[in-house]
């Protein structure tokens, strides 16, 4: 009897140690929960206000923090036509956000305007440079940005499916030069902001494995993916499988670097919206309603949590209400995908960040 008791005690002790080991290997997962609010300084300058769900006026960063957002993503243009998204604005705003406790995620476009798969226009002041001089300018610019801002995360380019700094950095036509330019920018980050984690950002999930195979020689930390159902397919299951496959294949963590969803198909100014058709939606699961948007955000957060390699997501255009007024033809093309309704009041989707 004594022998049996001793045996059972050893089995129980072994089971307890095994359970402790499993818990050590699978700690509670803390997600990076980000929003891109790059236009907020411009919106604030127009005296536009934001309100909570009760209709009380709020400071947007404070409300986002209370809602569970821990990271702010900001775009950076080299020499924009006005001061918005230029270095001085982004530097000042990032320091303010840091003082409030946010992590800073910089999306450096390496352009004077929007950079995406179809647009990777070299900054005007660099257009006449040959490769050696361009590399020097790229190194100095990147070094200045990361040294002075010291972001927690930085993208070397934005949605660089086709490369960046075209034509010299075109991944199809000038692959070796693309890699050379990427290495130059990465060197600046590693030297002047060694704690900053580097993201390489690809738009979509189709051909993502091809792209990250092409850049596997580069020294980076995180795979970033844009995912919008209207452009990148309506299968959230495929999104999740792609995240898992990329993480396993390339031994990298993955971020959903951009996503969003509409709460309506209507508009609040005279600027054409990017999304306005029912065929752009995931129906019937996620209708263009406040509840549909909420359920979409919830599912995206669940995917981020469930996928072993995923560390979080960023909701793009959270702030993009129709801030120029109802008659503006150059206002917001995204107001029906913001996290605030047409009265600038917080939508239910915002609360999902705190729930996950």
Catalytic residue set: 159, 258
Partners of 197 in the β-ladder: 153
- Sort 143 into a burial class: Cβ within 10 Å, 0-12 / 13-18 / 19+: middle
Non-local (6+) Cβ contacts of 220 within 8 A are 156, 186, 198, 199, 200, 252
Q: Where are the beta strands (DSSP E) in 46-157?
A: 50-51, 57-58, 71-76, 103-108, 153-156
Give the torsion through C-alpha atoms of 78, 81, 84, 89, to 10 deg: 50
Sign of CA dihedral 213, 214, 218, 222: negative
- The string of DSSP letters for 63-85 reads HHHHTT--EEEEEE-SS-SSSTT
Q: Where are the beta strands (DSSP E) in 41-187?
A: 50-51, 57-58, 71-76, 103-108, 153-156
CA 310 to chain centre: 13
């Amino acid at each position: 009897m004594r022998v049996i008791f001793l045996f059972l005690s050893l089995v129980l002790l072994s089971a307890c140690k095994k359970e402790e080991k499993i818990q050590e290997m699978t700690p509670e997962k803390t997600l990076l929960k980000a929003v891109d609010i790059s236009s907020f300084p411009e919106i604030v300058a127009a005296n536009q206000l934001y309100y909570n769900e009760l209709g009380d006026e709020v400071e947007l960063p404070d409300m986002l923090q209370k809602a569970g957002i821990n990271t702010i993503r900001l775009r950076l243009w080299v020499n924009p036509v006005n001061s918005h998204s230029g270095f001085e604005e982004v530097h000042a705003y990032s320091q303010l956000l840091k003082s409030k406790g946010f992590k800073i995620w910089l999306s450096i476009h390496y352009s004077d305007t929007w950079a995406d798969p179809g647009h990777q226009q070299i900054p005007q002041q660099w257009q006449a440079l040959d490769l050696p001089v361009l590399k020097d300018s790229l190194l100095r610019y990147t070094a200045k940005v990361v040294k002075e801002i010291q972001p927690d995360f930085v993208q070397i380019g934005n949605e660089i499916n086709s490369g960046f700094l075209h034509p010299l950095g075109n991944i199809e036509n000038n692959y070796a030069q693309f890699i050379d330019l990427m290495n130059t920018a990465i060197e600046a980050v590693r030297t002047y902001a060694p704690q900053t984690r580097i993201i390489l950002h690809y738009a979509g999930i189709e051909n993502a494995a091809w792209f990250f195979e092409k850049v596997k020689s580069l020294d980076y930390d995180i795979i970033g993916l844009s995912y919008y159902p209207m452009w990148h397919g309506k299968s959230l299951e495929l999104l999740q499988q792609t995240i898992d496959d990329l993480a396993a294949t390339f031994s990298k963590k993955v971020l959903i670097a951009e996503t969003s969803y509409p709460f309506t198909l209507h508009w609040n100014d005279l600027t054409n919206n990017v999304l306005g058709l029912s065929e752009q939606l995931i129906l019937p699961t996620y209708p263009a309603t406040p509840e549909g948007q909420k359920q979409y955000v919830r599912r995206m957060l669940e995917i981020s949590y469930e996928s072993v390699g995923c560390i979080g997501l960023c909701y793009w255009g959270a702030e993009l209400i129709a801030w120029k007024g109802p008659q503006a033809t150059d206002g917001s093309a995204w107001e029906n995908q913001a996290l605030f309704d047409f009265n600038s009041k917080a939508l239910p989707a915002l609360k999902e960040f705190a729930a996950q």
